[in-house]
Amino acid sequence: MEPVLISIIIPTYNRADLLPETLDSVLNQSYETWECIIVDDGSSDHTPEIADRYTQKDARFKFFQRPADRKTGGNGARNFGFLKSNGKYIKWLDSDDLIAKDLLQKETQLLSQEKTDLIVSSWMYFDSANTHFPERNRLVKAAPKNGIDLLNKMGELGEFTPPPSYLLKREIVYLTGLWNENLRNNQDGEFSFRFLNYCTSIKYTDTIGTIVRKDSTEKAMQKQISGNMEARLKSWQCIESMIEARENPQQLAAYIEGHQSILYHELKNTGNWKLILKFRDFFRKNIKSERSRKAKAKFLYYQFQNFFS
């Protein structure tokens, strides 16, 4: 089997301090048939100079500025990068994350003459202190055979897989469409939902292939959760509407219900009753099955306030 060209697409914005480590993880791959498309989203630091330096170091790196006629944000940069790519398989990599040296080698070893839409690898978190957190591979161990089963297993286990842990066949992107440039949160979840619907053959490697950078301070994590929750919920409403439009929406019941439960309890635990009520249609099953008297009292209180506001 001839080597398969892999396109690694990296959107970046003001990552001068972190981008070199990410690009080095690409440069050090034991598998050599790849191209790396870097798209800058309008950085004001030295990110463009660093990216350009790598194009001079190795011709497999290609650097572009996001055109002014595309929307700002990582999704617009990703979409533009895809249009500039040529690989048969695509890997989406954020500019502060890393991939293991043998990841592409392990993934391409699973490719054969038989149909393979997607390869999924294990992953783990690390932080700025270079502390590594336990690997995440429950989905890999479960090894669902197609995208619908993988989505339902995500809902059942309360898990997700970051985009760099996927190696996706290019044709699937043509079928499912590119990243939604209007989303600013959970865009990877919405995009993954769409392309997994078209994946009929999935293979897995238990290699810890993706190392995702994570801010380890609880304060920063809570700030991110509270500030982005409404945007997250809007993206999940979008996913729910796509599920309801299916001929058989119950086919993905475990996926949507699992994530509704996660989001509901996250809001409930932080006391964000107003947001639960704002998205009451999305949380209708969770609210209906609520047994806590305290929660029911809170719902009545905020509904009463809204009635007279």
- Answer whether 152's CB lies under 8 Å from 50's CB: no
- Over residues 134-144, the pLDDT tens digits come to 899 999 999 99
> Of 104-113, 161-170, 223-232, where does mean pLDDT reach its minimum?
223-232
Q: Taking Cα atoms as reference points, which of 251, 260, 248 lies closest to residue 290?
A: 260
- Between 167 and 128, name the one with better pLDDT: 167
* Inter-residue contact 196 to 251 (CB < 8 Å): no
Q: Is the dihedral of CA 209, 189, 155, 169 positive or negative?
A: negative
For residue 43, what pLDDT is reported? 96
- Model confidence band, residue 289 (pLDDT cutoffs 50, 70, 90): confident
What are the φ and ψ backbone dihedral angles of 57, each rounded to 5 degrees?
-75, -35
- Rounded to an integer, the average pLDDT of 147-156 is 97
Burial of 178 (0-12, 13-18, 19+ CB in 10 A): middle
Is the pLDDT at 216 greater than 80? The verdict is: no
pLDDT at 307 over 60: no
Give the residue among 202, 144, 142, 193 at the shortest CA–CA distance from 169. Answer: 202
CA distances to 33, 51, 169, 198 from 176, in Å? 26, 30, 11, 7
Task: Answer yes or no: are the C-beta atoms of 72 and 95 closer than 8 Å.
Answer: no
pLDDT tens readout for residues 231-270: 889 999 999 999 999 989 999 999 999 999 999 999 988 8
Residue 146 has a pLDDT of: 97
Residue 218, pLDDT above cutoff 70: no
Which tokens hold the place of 208?
A: 């810890």
Q: What is the DSSP string of 99-113?
A: E-TTHHHHHHHT--S
Kindly state the DSSP code that residue 233 receives in the 8-state scheme. H
pLDDT tens figures, 47-75:
999 999 999 999 999 999 999 888 999 99
- Beta-bridged to residue 62, according to DSSP, are 37
